[in-house]
Amino acid sequence: MARPIPLATADVAVQAVAVQAVAVQAAAVQYGSAMSSDPPPRVIFPCDYPIKVMVRVEDGVRSRVDAIVERHAGPLAPGAVTERPSAQGNFLGITYLIHATGQDQIARLFADLKQCPQVMLVL
């Protein structure tokens, strides 16, 4: 059986929690959230953003996917694209590091990539 906490100790603990709550509220007001229930943004734009695309290996598929990405993100830097073939060579994983300007840009890019018949997966 747990021992009861002395009243003086319990009062100090309650006061400490109250002080922490006030500090959290003050910080929220200072940074503009005012204790809203909205979750914090997962990504802060603009930023470098990785996009992974899994495609079926076919002639010209890499150039088609590159063109879709460049249409939404601009020219790709030489080191901004990596690829990894599957063990049996039927699929190719391509990772693009783009400079993303907003969630709408990424959503449009994902939608266009999914329209490409050789694209199996976009992450």
Residue 67: CATH number of its domain = 3.30.70.260
Helix, strand, coil % in the chain, rounded to nearest 5: 45, 25, 35
In a domain, 110, yes or no: yes
| Residues 26 and 81 both lie in one domain | no
Count of domains in the chain? Answer: 2
Q: Residue 57: give the domain boundaries.
A: 47-122
Q: pLDDT tens digits, residue range 59-91?
A: 999 999 999 999 999 999 889 999 999 999 999
Q: pLDDT tens digits, residue range 23-68?
A: 445 455 455 554 557 777 688 999 999 999 999 999 999 999 999 9
Which has the higher per-residue pLDDT, 63 or 14? 63
| Residues 23 and 55 both lie in one domain | no
Q: Parallel, antiparallel, or unpaired: how do β-strands 91-100 and 81-85 relate?
A: antiparallel
In a domain, 2, yes or no: no
The per-residue pLDDT for 42 is: 83
